[in-house]
A and B are shown apart, each in its own frame.
Chain A
Amino acid sequence: GESVGLHLPTLSVQEGDNSIINCAYSNSASDYFIWYKQESGKGPQFIIDIRSNMDKRQGQRVTVLLNKTVKHLSLQIAATQPGDSAVYFCAENRRDTDKLIFGTGTRLQVFP
């Protein structure tokens, strides 16, 4: 039979508000993390990355925070816009490998 996908967690925010998307990673050996944005029918688009020797990195309207103690990563989007509506994935690179492991994703819905 057909496989049924898990329903993605959804974050709904009003246009202009700030958004915070969270991600827990599992492997303490991971030392590089990336946030991707995926719009419907498209491929993942790189947003921002951070290495484990940092705890914060800022881009244009986005900030990534890394808490290695609790293995938690977050993406903050300032002044969220309708164009930010998408599914957001965090991905981790485990040390000594050359592949990214993706989290399950969070759907961001922006309302006017």
Chain B
Amino acid sequence: NAGVMQNPRHLVRRRGQEARLRCSPMKGHSHVYWYRQLPEEGLKFMVYLQKENIIDESGMPKERFSAEFPKEGPSILRIQQVVRGDSAAYFCASSPSSSVGGGNTIYFGEGSWLTVV
């Protein structure tokens, strides 16, 4: 079984450019989460999506960040006009449905490491 697939694994962008991170959930999973991790810190929730629907974006910065999960294709986390503070590891996770804890564990991908120079 393929796990949660993220690409690119490593991405370097100059300040002001755009970064696009992609995530394909596990087979059969319809819910996607994006988390951000700074070095030596825990994972911070950013956004939770179902197909074509944003459920909870309470952790997303108000500007420059957006996420989508279209009917077809992977989920995309988009960061416009990147700044050095955006440098971090971005992790995607998926679950089969809602109700985490109702038997629906969240599984993570291997992450995308963004470096802004």
Please, how many angstroms separate the alpha-carbon atoms of A93 and B106 in the complex? 11
Instruction: Report whether B105 and A89 are in contact in the complex, using a CB–CB cutoff of 8 Å.
Output: no
- The segment out of B11-19, B31-39, B60-68, B69-77 that lies at the interface is B31-39
B28 within 8 A of A: no
Please, how many angstroms separate the alpha-carbon atoms of A91 and B98 in the complex? 17
A31 within 8 A of B: yes
Query: Interface readout for B4-16 with A: 1 if CB under 8 Å, 0 if not?
Result: 1010000000000
Determine the residue in chain B with the shortest Cβ distance to A36: B108
A-B contact count (CB 8 A): 70
Q: Count A-side interface residues using an 8 Å CB cutoff.
A: 29
Q: Count B-side interface residues using an 8 Å CB cutoff.
A: 31
Please, how many angstroms separate the alpha-carbon atoms of A103 and B41 in the complex? 9
Residue from B41, B45, B101, B110 whose CB has the most chain A CB atoms within 10 Å: B101
Q: How far is the CB of A48 from chain B (nearest CB, A)?
A: 10
B52 within 8 A of A: no
Determine the residue in chain A with the shortest Cβ distance to B102: A32
Instruction: Report whether B91 and A105 are in contact in the complex, using a CB–CB cutoff of 8 Å.
Output: no
Residues in chain A near residue B54, CB distance under 8 A: none
Residues in chain A near residue B100, CB distance under 8 A: 32, 93, 97-100
Instruction: Report whether B105 and A46 are in contact in the complex, using a CB–CB cutoff of 8 Å.
Output: yes
Name 16 extra pairs, CB < 8 A, besides A34-B105, A46-B105, A99-B48.
A2-B84, A3-B38, A6-B40, A6-B41, A42-B111, A44-B43, A46-B107, A93-B101, A97-B56, A98-B56, A99-B33, A99-B45, A99-B100, A100-B45, A101-B45, A102-B45
Chain B residues in the interface with A (C-beta under 8 A): 4, 6, 31, 33, 35, 38-45, 48, 55-56, 84-85, 91, 95, 98-101, 105-111
Chain A residues in the interface with B (C-beta under 8 A): 2-3, 5-8, 31-32, 34, 36, 42-46, 49, 51, 89, 91, 93, 97-105
Give the 9 A-B CB pairs with smallest separation, nearest first.
A32-B101, A5-B40, A43-B108, A102-B42, A102-B43, A43-B110, A44-B108, A93-B100, A93-B101
